[in-house]
């Protein structure tokens, strides 16, 4: 049996963010390994809450203390101490503040893939490194003023949403999740979009509530008829697929297959080779890339395939409608008619601008899962939109305000409404210190004409550069 890989952080006594960095590393390793089980080693139960406060919610901590295990966001966490052991653990172990001698015992657990050690003191770290000099180090940058500002902004956004919104639908689904069926076994089945029933229309096809391209294999809509399913695939999902391809290819997001990106001149190609590796092939002097060999960072300028901006926005609206409960769904008949329109026109629903708030989260993020949230404004708050939809997959987070001309009439007449970017794990102190600040921008997707030649700039680190001969030129037509 192969020994578990060893990884360590700085000492907690010197870098309080070390535990958050270790936690984020384990989350990445779970996605990388395709595992769902993870161990948390602590000196004893009494120290558990002190160590994990702020990383786990109170309910999860309570279950760990009571049952020695808990389910958290699709993963199963097992508590391990000097007295509490598990027979087998097919995943990583986060060892926080444990004695190096105890760590050696725990590292022998069957099935263990990785040990992430967060030492309490510099002396514990020195003892550990004397035994494991090849352990990989997690290096934390000193928190800059920019990082502090990013963390404060994230916390302020969290308070803003907590005060104003109720979460009326949410979910986190992995590539291994069991199927979840929206609509149950309703008979007769009525399409939630066009309103027709069986036998006026058919329900034979498997209708994915969210596009399969973002990794959705499990969320199935039983109230989407075949005709609407085909319409959405052609009129909205195709635009979203083309618009997100650069992000999905570099993020190695598995949809119907692993995505590939190819430039029109065939001189640049990006292929996802499994969930861990990314192969980028391009000429050394190709102006569409900038290489920093000192930091092993590459910045690419990727050209999107032609897409219609309004189609991208409608695709997100369709996802929100798929998971929307009643009575809110009954208030959105105008949106159902809009996304079923045979063409993208401003006249079909004169509401603009159609803004998308987009964030790119740096650092390791699970690429085998997606999560979403649908938020409804609480009574008594007139300074914010009625409905907001948020979607995250891989390193990308998208959020939109659903066009609700009646419920948001006062805001529309006012002509201006500021909505903060949605808070996320990439905005926490530990993540910002380790990987830098998230990139955020507002996009206007009101356009109804196809956009061609648009560039998407993406930066990321690479493990290895391989020089190869250039690809053959395409055969003449």
pLDDT tens by residue, 144-190:
555 566 677 888 898 999 999 999 999 998 888 899 999 876 678 89
- For position 121, what pLDDT does the model report? 93
User: What separation in angstroms does the CA of 176 have from each of 55, 210, 369?
Assistant: 24, 16, 9
CA distance 423 to 157: 6
Mapping DSSP to helix (H, G, I), strand (E, B) and coil, where does residue 459 land?
Answer: strand
Task: Give the start-to-end residue ranges of the domains of the chain.
Answer: 5-137, 159-266+306-460
- For position 187, what pLDDT does the model report? 74
* 335: phi then psi, degrees, rounded to nearest 5: -75, -35
Render the burial of 399-433: b for 16+ CB within 10 Å, e for the rest.
Answer: bbbbbbeebbeebbeeeeeebbbbbbbbbbbbbbb
Beta strands in 402-473 (DSSP E): 439-444, 455-461
Task: Compute how many other C-beta atoms are within 10 angstroms of the C-beta atom of residue 151.
Answer: 19
Sheet with strand 268-273: strands edge to edge: 260-262, 268-273, 277-282
Specify whether the CB–CB gap between 42 and 81 falls below 8 A.
yes
Q: Which of 376, 477, 427, 400 is nearest to 164 (CA)?
A: 376
- For position 278, what pLDDT does the model report? 61
CA distance 293 to 402: 44
List all residues 6 or more positions away from 87 whose beta carbon is below 8 Å from its beta carbon: 110
- For position 1, what pLDDT does the model report? 45
Kindly give the parts of the chain with pLDDT less than 70.
Answer: 1-3, 31-34, 53-58, 73-74, 141-150, 185-186, 255-268, 270-289, 295-296, 298, 427-431, 433-435, 458-477
- For position 464, what pLDDT does the model report? 61
Selected from 1.20.58, 3.30.70, 3.40.1350, 3.40.50, the CATH number assigned to the domain covering 5-137 reads: 3.40.50
Task: Compute how many other C-beta atoms are within 10 angstroms of the C-beta atom of residue 296.
Answer: 13
Mapping DSSP to helix (H, G, I), strand (E, B) and coil, where does residue 64 land?
Answer: helix
Task: Compute how many other C-beta atoms are within 10 angstroms of the C-beta atom of residue 335.
Answer: 23
- For position 274, what pLDDT does the model report? 56
CA distance 183 to 311: 25
- For position 471, what pLDDT does the model report? 55
- For position 57, what pLDDT does the model report? 65
What is the distance between the terminal CA atoms of the chain, rounded to a whole angstrom? 55
**Can you give the pTM of this predicted structure?**
0.70
List all residues 6 or more positions away from 171 whose beta carbon is below 8 Å from its beta carbon: 180, 219, 323, 371, 372
């Amino acid at each position: 049996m192969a020994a578990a890989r060893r990884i360590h952080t700085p000492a907690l006594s010197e870098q309080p963010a070390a535990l958050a960095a270790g936690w984020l590393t384990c989350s990445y390793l779970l996605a990388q390994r395709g595992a769902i089980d993870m161990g948390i080693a602590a000196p004893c139960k009494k120290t558990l809450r002190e160590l994990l406060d702020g990383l786990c919610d109170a309910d999860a901590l309570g279950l760990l203390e009571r049952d020695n295990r808990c389910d958290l966001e699709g993963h199963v966490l097992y508590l391990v101490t000097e007295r509490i052991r598990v027979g087998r653990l097919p995943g990583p172990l986060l060892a926080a503040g444990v004695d190096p001698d105890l760590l050696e015992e725990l590292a022998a657990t069957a099935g263990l893939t990785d040990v992430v050690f967060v030492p309490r003191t510099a002396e514990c770290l020195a003892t550990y490194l004397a035994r494991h000099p090849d352990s990989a180090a997690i290096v934390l940058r000193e928190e800059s003023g920019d990082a502090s500002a990013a963390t404060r902004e994230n916390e302020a956004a969290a308070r803003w949403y907590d005060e104003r919104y109720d979460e009326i639908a949410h979910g986190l689904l992995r590539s291994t999740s069991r199927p979840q069926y929206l609509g149950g076994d309703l008979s007769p089945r009525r399409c939630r979009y066009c309103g027709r029933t069986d036998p006026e229309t058919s329900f034979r096809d498997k209708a994915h509530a969210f596009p399969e391209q973002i990794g959705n294999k499990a969320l199935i809509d039983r109230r989407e008829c075949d005709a609407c399913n085909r319409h959405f695939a052609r009129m909205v999902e195709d635009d979203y697929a083309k618009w997100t391809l650069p992000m999905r290819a570099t993020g190695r997001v598995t949809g119907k297959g692993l995505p590939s990106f190819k430039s029109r001149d065939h001189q640049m190609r990006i292929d996802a080779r499994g969930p861990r590796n990314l192969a980028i092939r391009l000429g050394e002097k190709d102006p569409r890339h900038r290489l920093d060999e000192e930091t092993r960072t590459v910045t690419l300028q990727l050209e999107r395939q032609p897409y219609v901006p309004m189609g991208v926005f409608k695709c997100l609206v369709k996802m929100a409608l798929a998971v929307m409960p009643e009575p809110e769904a009954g208030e959105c008949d105008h949106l159902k008619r809009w996304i079923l329109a045979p063409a993208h026109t401003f006249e079909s629903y004169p509401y603009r601008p159609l803004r998308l708030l987009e964030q790119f989260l740096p650092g390791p993020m699970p690429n085998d899962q997606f999560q979403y949230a649908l938020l409804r404004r609480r009574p008594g708050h007139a300074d914010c939109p009625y409905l907001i939809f948020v979607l995250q997959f891989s390193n990308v987070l998208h959020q939109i305000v659903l066009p609700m001309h009646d419920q948001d009439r006062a805001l529309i007449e006012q002509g201006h409404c500021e909505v903060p970017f949605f808070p996320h794990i990439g905005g926490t102190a530990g993540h910002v210190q380790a990987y830098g600040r998230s990139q955020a921008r507002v996009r206007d997707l009101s356009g109804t004409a196809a956009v061609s030649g648009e560039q998407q700039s993406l930066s990321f680190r690479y493990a290895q550069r391989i020089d190869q001969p250039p690809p053959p030129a395409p055969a003449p037509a």
